[in-house]
Amino acid sequence: MSLMSTTAAVLTEVERPQARVDSFYRPGLDILRALAFLLVFVAHGLVSELDKPTQLGAIGRAGEFGVCVFFFLSSYLITELLLREKRETHTIHIPAFYVRRILRIWPLYFAMIGGGWFYGLFSPSHSVSLAWGAALMLLFTNWYTAGHGYPPGFLFPLWSISLEEQFYLAWPCIVKYLSPGSLLGISTVLMTTAYLTLARLLHQGAILDPGIWVNSLVQFQFFALGTMTAIVPAAVSPGFRLLCAGDSSWLVCSACGRRKPLSIATIKYCRTICCTLGRAT
């Protein structure tokens, strides 16, 4: 098959599943996305207060959990859509999946990198070094951030994009060839790995932010939770599934909060987020 015919087939397949995507639309998830964005926006707006033991600092730290909500939603939606495609077509068209993700994320992502590099030409303190450029381009940003701090200038949020793209790279292939039961097993392993990694990093005295916060193995717990929510039997309503996931997240955050660095105020805000996550649909 020629390159042009292969490209045409992929683009046709990209458009073809649109009806299935539309049929799965959940208005409540738009509310959760807006909430997650608001939380992240507040956290970034209070970045100077994050290390202070004040109410504003607690609100800012709670706002950082908006990133975790995004990870959860991404995993839930992607897994649900992939499983629907697999049930209806008995396969998953992986090239089409990658094309859709690339067209949705990469143009703005790389435009932002270009803008950051251009800004660094006029602000030496925010210049993008060769190492940072390679980490950003290769979607390795979160791992580089763990050892060198956040990316320069306004590129600092891009660590989360790299982490999410790592999930997108592997997950469609896994869903294509494994059963829902096996996916549930993988999710359980990811959850277990996340907390073992967290315990090990804390034992080693690793710095919470960014060392622990940007670690893929730690953050994959939210992708695992989203996958579990999507795999629960279809007889259980999506709203109830999300409610269970939200309440489970609250219990985890409460347990972590007793050991710090989460404050009581942070737990309260996180509980509100998780309960909203469960009831919005």
At 281, is the secondary structure helix, strand, or coil? coil
Instruction: Please compute the mean of the pLDDT values over residues 66-89 and round it to a whole number.
Output: 89
Question: pLDDT > 90: what percent of the chain?
Answer: 33
CA distance 146 to 151: 10
pLDDT value of position 187: 92
Of 162, 146, 145, the closest CA to residue 211 belongs to 146
Distance CA(243)–CA(237), nearest Å, equals 10
CA atoms within 13 Å, Cβ hemisphere of 200: 9
Estimate to the nearest angstrom the gap between the alpha carbon of 59 and the chain centroid: 21
pLDDT tens by residue, 125-150: 889 999 999 999 999 999 999 988 88
Q: Which residue has the tokens 């793209």?
A: 165
Rounded-to-integer distance, Cα 278 and Cα 272, Å: 10
Residues 6+ apart with CB under 8 A from 10: 93, 95, 96, 99
Is 82 or 7 the better-scoring residue by pLDDT? Answer: 82
DSSP 17: T
Average pLDDT estimate for 102-116: 93
pLDDT in tens, 159-198: 999 999 999 999 999 999 999 999 999 999 999 999 899 8
**Which two three-digit tokens encode residue 18?**
């649109």
Distances (CA, A) of 206 to 3, 108, 215: 48, 33, 11
Q: Could you please report the per-residue DSSP string of 234-279?
A: TTS-HHHHHHHHHHHHHHHHHHHHTTSSS-HHHHHHHHHHHHHHHH
115 — pLDDT class (breaks 50, 70, 90): very high
pLDDT-derived band at 235, boundaries 50, 70, 90: very low
Does pTM surpass 0.85? Answer: no
Banded model confidence at residue 23, pLDDT cuts 50, 70, 90: low
Q: Which of 39-43, 76-80, 96-100, 149-153 has the lowest mean pLDDT?
A: 39-43
Asked whether 128 and 155 are in contact (CB, 8 A), the reply is: yes
SS3 assignment, position 230: helix
For residues 6 and 63, which has the higher predicted lDDT (pLDDT)?
Answer: 63
Q: Is the pLDDT of residue 44 over 70?
A: no
The pLDDT of residue 276 is 45
Measured CA distances, 279 to 24, 75, 105 (Å): 17, 18, 28
Start-to-end Cα distance in the chain? 44
Q: What residue has token string 């985890």?
A: 252
Per-range mean pLDDT, top range of 32-36, 152-156, 237-241: 152-156
What is the model's pLDDT at position 144? Answer: 93
What is the CB neighbour count within 10 angstroms for residue 30? 11
User: Averaging pLDDT over each range in 104-113, 227-236, 258-267, which range is the top one?
Assistant: 104-113
pLDDT at 11 over 50: no
Phi, psi (deg, nearest 5) at residue 88: -85, -30
d(Cα 99, Cα 101) in Å, to the nearest integer? Answer: 5
Alpha-carbon distance values, 31 to 26, 44, 226, 239, 253 (Å): 10, 20, 17, 13, 22
Q: So where are the chain's domains?
A: 3-108+159-279
Per-chain mean pLDDT for the chain = 75
Q: Give the pLDDT confidence score for residue 109 in this predicted structure.
A: 94
